[in-house]
């Protein structure tokens, strides 16, 4: 099954979110698994140190390379190779296209594993990027205190595109960015009139063709008004370009994670560094 590993100093902050809603249900139903791994467990000294002062001086601390690299070695020895990402403000912006690519890839046995390294402090030692062939991902042009929220965002965006994760797989097809050049259309539900505001009459007409045309026009108008950077001209291909992977997810981990929920349930790494 598709497997995410989030390397973080704060696994307990993430665990509750993974229990809820679509993510919780997808995990329970065996559509995806998420390991939360505290790389402090791989620190080499008795104080479990994972950070140190920056060479050259200046404020803040830097994450040391050894615990993170040892953690990745341990993880891959156990589960096999992962596609490795580090969350960084300066990374490639995380977009729906990549979420879709990961959902497709992770539905195949060869590419079913994705690693997400959540930084803290000033970030991690630069040498890790090349040593671990890390791809850098950014959640946006702002700075968080850690990569945990960004990692959760990636896990959620990908998981909801896995076949069977949503109540109706077609929901993802009408979402914003499933066609990279379109936002979603507006949605309404009961009551028909609320505080004097009426639902657009076309949606009550029962004419599905008309409704479809209206929705497409609304989506285009909305995109032009709110995100002119997205709209391509001319927009020739109405409807989403993204199609969810059709194959049912397969067990992608040769080491068979046996429903591992988190590293807390797992034996400590063989070198048991924290004594
Ligand atoms: C305080 S930030 C470090 C910021 C770093 N000194 C810089 O300016 O690029 C600590 C960690 O939060 C995470 N982070 C912060 N903002 C992020 C963003 N926009 N996208 C992804 N991760 C982010 C990264 O993992 C980063 O290592």
Best residue among 51, 119, 137, 140 to mutate for probing ligand 1, ranked by most atoms within 8 Å of CB? 119
Predicted TM-score of the model (pTM): 0.87
- Does ligand 1 come within 6 angstroms of the Cβ of 147? yes
Reading the block at residue 10, the tokens are 């704060």
Domain(s) labelled CATH 3.40.1280.10 in the chain stretch across: 3-167+246-265
- Does ligand 1 come within 6 angstroms of the Cβ of 119? yes
pLDDT for the residue numbered 254: 31
Give me the count of residues in the chain.
Answer: 275
- Does ligand 1 come within 6 angstroms of the Cβ of 144? yes
- Verify whether residue 221 is a known catalytic residue: no
Burial per residue of 132-168, b for 16 or more beta-carbon CB atoms within 10 angstroms, e otherwise = bebeebbbeeeeeebbbebbbbbbbbbbbbbbebbee
pLDDT for the residue numbered 231: 75
The number of helix segments (H) and strand segments (E) in the chain equals 8, 9
Q: Please tell me what DSSP assigns to residue 234.
A: S
- Does ligand 1 come within 6 angstroms of the Cβ of 117? no
How confident is the chain (275 residues) per 10-residue block, as mean pLDDT?
98 98 97 98 97 98 98 98 98 98 95 98 98 98 98 98 93 92 97 98 98 97 96 50 44 32 40 31
Give the separation between CA 75 and CA 262, rounded to whole angstroms.
Answer: 12
CATH-assigned architecture of domain 3-167+246-265: 3-Layer(aba) Sandwich (3.40)
Distance 120 CA to ligand 1 centre (A): 7
Which CATH number applies to 179-226?
1.10.1270.20
Which listed residue (66, 101, 122, 136) is catalytic? 122
Domain(s) labelled CATH 1.10.1270.20 in the chain stretch across: 179-226
- Does ligand 1 come within 6 angstroms of the Cβ of 148? no
- Does ligand 1 come within 6 angstroms of the Cβ of 88? yes
Q: Which residues contact 171 (CB under 8 A, 6 or more apart)?
A: none
Give the separation between CA 48 and CA 45, rounded to whole angstroms.
Answer: 5
- Nearest-CA neighbor of 68 among 85, 55, 54? 85
Best residue among 87, 90, 134, 140 to mutate for probing ligand 1, ranked by most atoms within 8 Å of CB? 87
């Amino acid at each position: 099954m598709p497997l995410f590993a989030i390397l973080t100093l704060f696994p307990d902050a993430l665990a509750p979110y993974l229990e809820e809603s679509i993510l919780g249900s997808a995990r329970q139903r065996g559509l995806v698994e998420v390991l939360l791994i505290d790389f402090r467990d791989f620190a080499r000294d008795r104080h479990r140190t994972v950070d140190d002062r920056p060479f050259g001086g200046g404020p803040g601390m830097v994450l040391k390379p050894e615990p993170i690299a040892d953690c990745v070695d341990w993880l891959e020895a156990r589960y096999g190779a992962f596609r490795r990402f580090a969350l960084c403000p300066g990374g490639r912006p995380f977009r729906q296209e990549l979420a879709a690519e990961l959902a497709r890839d992770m539905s195949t046995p060869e590419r079913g594993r994705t690693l997400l390294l959540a930084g803290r402090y000033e970030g991690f030692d630069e040498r890790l990027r090349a040593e671990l062939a890390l791809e850098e991902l950014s959640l946006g042009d702002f700075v968080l205190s850690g990569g945990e929220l960004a990692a959760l965002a990636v896990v959620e965006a990908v998981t909801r595109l896995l076949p069977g994760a949503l109540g109706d797989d077609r929901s993802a097809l009408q979402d914003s960015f499933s066609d990279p050049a379109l936002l979603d259309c507006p949605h309404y539900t009961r009551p028909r009139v609320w505080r004097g505001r009426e639902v657009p009459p076309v949606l009550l007409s029962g004419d599905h063709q008309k409704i479809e045309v209206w929705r497409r026009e609304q989506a285009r108008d909305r995109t032009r008004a709110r995100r002119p950077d997205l709209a391509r001209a001319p927009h020739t291909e109405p409807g989403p370009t993204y199609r969810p992977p059709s194959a049912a997810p397969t067990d992608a981990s040769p080491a068979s994670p046996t429903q591992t929920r988190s590293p807390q349930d797992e034996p400590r790494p063989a070198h048991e560094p924290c004594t």
